[in-house]
Structure 1
Amino acid sequence: MAISFDKALGIHQYTVGVRERNSEVIASNIAQANTPGYKAKGLDFQKALSAAESGASVNLARTDGRHIPASMAAIGETLYRVPTQPDTGDGNTVDLDLERNLFMQNQIRHQASLDFLGGKFKNLTKAIKGE
Structure 2
Amino acid sequence: MPDARIIGKTIQDLVRSLDISRKRQGLISGNLANIETPDYHAKDLDFRESLQKAMQGGSKDLSRTHSKHYNVMEGSSPEITTAAKAGVDIDQEMANLAENNLMYRSSVESLLRKFALIKYAINEGGK
Q: Give the TM-score of the pair, scaled to structure 2.
A: 0.72
Distance 2:60 2:27 in 1: 19
In the alignment, structure 1 segments of 5+ residues that lack a partner are 61-70, 84-91
**Residue 122 of structure 1 corresponds to which residue in structure 2?**
116
Among candidates 23, 26, 29, match of residue 25 of structure 2: 23
**Residue 54 of structure 2 corresponds to which residue in structure 1?**
52
Post-superposition offset of 1:55: 4.9
Q: Give the TM-score of the pair, scaled to structure 1.
A: 0.70
Q: Which amino acid aligns with 1:129?
A: N
Post-superposition offset of 1:78: 0.7
**8 Å CA contact 1:48, 1:76 repeated in 2:** yes
Does residue 104 of structure 1 match 2:98?
Answer: yes
C-alpha distance 97-119 of structure 1, shift in aligned 2 (>3 A): same
In the alignment, structure 2 segments of 5+ residues that lack a partner are 63-71
Distance 1:93 1:75 in 2: 25
**8 Å CA contact 1:21, 1:75 repeated in 2:** no
**8 Å CA contact 2:41, 2:83 repeated in 1:** yes
Range 39-48 or range 29-38, more displaced: 39-48
User: Which structure has the larger Rg?
Assistant: 1
Cα distance per residue 1:59-99 (max 9 Å; x no partner): 89xxxxxxxxxx8553212111355xxxxxxxx32101110
Higher helix share: 2
Higher strand share: 1
Post-superposition offset of 1:112: 1.1
